[in-house]
Amino acid sequence: MNKRSFCLLAGIAVSLAILTAGCSREKCNSIQIKGSDTMVNLTQAWTEAFTKENPGINISVTGGGSGTGIASFISGNCDIISASRQMTVEEIELAKKNGIEEKEYIAALDGIVVVVNPKNPVSKLTVDQLSDIFMGKIKNWKEVGGNNSSIVILSREINSGTHVFFKEHVLRKGNPKGTEEFSPNALLLPSSQAIADEVAQNSGTIGYYGMGYISPNQKLVAVSKGPKMPFIEPSIDTVKKGSYPISRPLYLYTKKDAPEMVTKFIDFAFSQEGQEIVRKTDFVPVK
């Protein structure tokens, strides 16, 4: 009878566990944060610091993409969305149908700077020129008003969110159906720091990274949206105003009637410590 009684016991144990553990998420002190892969390291860092201060609150962070987070929020399966885009009107309507009203926060900004060696005379480029340079169509600095020397393209690896963002917003100019790719001659470096070091040492290089890595050893390139538009220097100010072209806000969404611990987490994200974490993970603080 051994095996059968074991099976019975196991079955009973499982059903008991399901029945008795029937506490709702709020009661269990757990928060589910879901969404953007770009922001997943930021939300992870927030969570790590937040749970150190509030050890009783159980926070799970899941990536998968902004869309994944929003879909899960609409079906009532997560408490906070991290999103690198705004919720669309349709998505807000869908959530309302399920009795969920959203509250939007802009918790950080994502600004990406283009850098060249300080000795390089080039100091401003249009998005079109950037696109052509990184796709390998413009091969020499003299084509964009620089010295007669060939351009060395530095890029992040494919798994980097910065790589994807740069490809979508500069190479493809925001066209979601674009098929433009980085030049096969681009050197793929494993970290933003590696790009910064390489740009500081080699005069022909051009690279890009999050604003957290700005230093005097590289020259920032002012960027304009089009041929007759003004060239804008990247800075926390111009990214905040939205005038610098290669930037976007990063959102957090909660329910309007969110429980206290959720608002506590949001408050933490906007606190001095939370915004310092934003800076450390290479995004632009909003405060």
Partner 1 sequence: MFNTKISQKIAFAVLFVSTLITIIPVLIIIAIIIKNGITAISWQFLTTAPSNGMRSGGIFPAIVGTFYLALGASAISLPLGILGGIYLSEYSKNNYFTRILKLGIVNLAGVPSIVYGLFGLSLFVISLKLGVSIVSGCLTLAIMSLPSIITATETAMSSVPRSFREVSLSLGATKWQTIRYAVLPHASPGIITGTLLSNARITGETAPILFTVAAFYLPQLPNSVFDQVMALPYHLYVISTQIPGISKSVTYGTALVLIVFTLSLNLFGIIVRTYLRRQKKW
Residues forming contacts to partner 1 in the complex (CB under 8 A) are 3, 7-8, 10-11, 13-14, 17-18, 21-23, 25, 28-30, 32, 37, 40-41, 43-45, 47-48, 51, 58-64, 72, 75-78, 159-160, 190-192, 281
User: Rounded to whole angstroms, how far apart are CA atoms 148 and 117?
Assistant: 15
Residue type, 248: R
Give the nearer residue to partner 1 in terms of CB position, either 17 or 106: 17
Give the nearer residue to partner 1 in terms of CB position, either 125 or 195: 195
Give the nearer residue to partner 1 in terms of CB position, either 52 or 256: 52
CB of 28 to partner 1, least distance (A): 5
CB of 157 to partner 1, least distance (A): 8
| Six-digit token string for 119 | 């000795």
CB of 154 to partner 1, least distance (A): 15
Give the nearer residue to partner 1 in terms of CB position, either 23 or 229: 23
CB of 192 to partner 1, least distance (A): 8
